[in-house]
Structure 1
Amino acid sequence: MNLVKNGTPGVGKTTVSKALHQKLHKSVWLDGDWCWMMNPWIITEENTKVVEGNITYLLRSFLENSNFDYILFNWVLHREEYKLTRITLTCSDESLRNRMLLDNRTVEQIESSCNRLKLYEEMITHTIDTTGISTHVVVTTIQDLLKI
């Protein structure tokens, strides 16, 4: 099963993915952010092309590998271009701000992420509001949803 977890930055994609990955036998977890770990972090057409190429290569390689039953991928996807099981994590504006402050995110990053929340409202997806619930509850909800 191929599962994409999306949502605005700071909503909990990485935390939930890490916990879900630990519960699923024969799984691999890919985080789109890994390909963006550059210093300085600069979004240019050239960098975007390299990142998307690397992500495509990694995903294709694991999708073609028969050793895995679950491919977990999380990234800030706000468009519906992919035919995969999509789960969107969301939370309240206040919760998002608090989480990102605890993560030492900048005011600019926090505002950008909060402004993106609305991009996920109309998507055809399974939405899980993580406001006030634990990572364990989110993981259990995903497992129930996927019947795993």
Structure 2
Amino acid sequence: MKHIYLIGGTMGVGKTTTCQMLKNKLNNSVFLDGDWCWDMNPFQVTEETKEMVMQNICFLLNNFIKCSAFNHIVFCWVMHEQAIVDDIISRLDTEDCKVHPIALVCSRDALTKRLMKDVAAGQRTEDKILRSLMRIPLYEKLNTTKVDVSSITVEQAADVIIQRFST
């Protein structure tokens, strides 16, 4: 039985670092960040690019599912709407898999502190803070398991996910 971890969360909540840690803690695992499929210049959000990105994500995830080398497939992306999560799952061959939709959530204060560190380090622009804060309530509405990362480390977040889902 393979495990597919679909990990969403607003910008700056720690999806990528948590998923990297999760990949390193789980044997026979692979990690895909949905943002890698949007890495274009100029950044263009059109119906055509949105569909292309979704096809690329699901193509890669299905190839990971088919590959006997992997028991754990870790995927992260913003996934702020249930329709996005449902669309991804509907395109995957999940016959011999357990799919674990997860949302990383945190308090407004914790998110602001994380994003301010990123801004100070030149990794994000300040305009992303308000956008990210505005998306926090969207994750409460999703049909996902919530993991509150407000006051835990990346390693602790990965351990929580492993304890809940990897057996």
TM-score by length of 1: 0.92
Sequence identity (%): 39
Would you say 1:94 and 2:76 are equivalent positions? no
Q: Distance in 2 between matches of 1:27 and 1:53?
A: 21
List alignment gaps of at least 5 residues for structure 2: 91-98
Q: Report Cα offsets for 1:50-94 as digits up to 9, x if no partner.
A: 211211211111111122101111111123313721111011112
1:45 Cα deviation after fit: 2.0
8 Å CA contact 2:7, 2:76 repeated in 1: yes
Equivalent of residue 155 in structure 2, options 98, 123, 136 = 136
Query: Which residue of the partner structure matches residue 70 of structure 1?
Result: 72
List alignment gaps of at least 5 residues for structure 1: none
Task: Using the TM superposition, name which of 36-45 and 25-34 deviates more.
Answer: 36-45
The letter for the 1-side match of 2:53 is V
Q: How many residues align?
A: 148
Structure 1 moving runs of 4+ over 4 Å = none
8 Å CA contact 2:4, 2:100 repeated in 1: yes
Q: Report Cα offsets for 1:17-36 as digits up to 9, x if no partner.
A: 00110111111101101111
Q: Report Cα offsets for 1:98-147 as digits up to 9, x if no partner.
A: 21122222232211111111101122221111112111111111111114
Q: Distance in 2 between matches of 1:62 and 1:138?
A: 23
The letter for the 2-side match of 1:68 is F
Superposed CA RMSD: 1.5
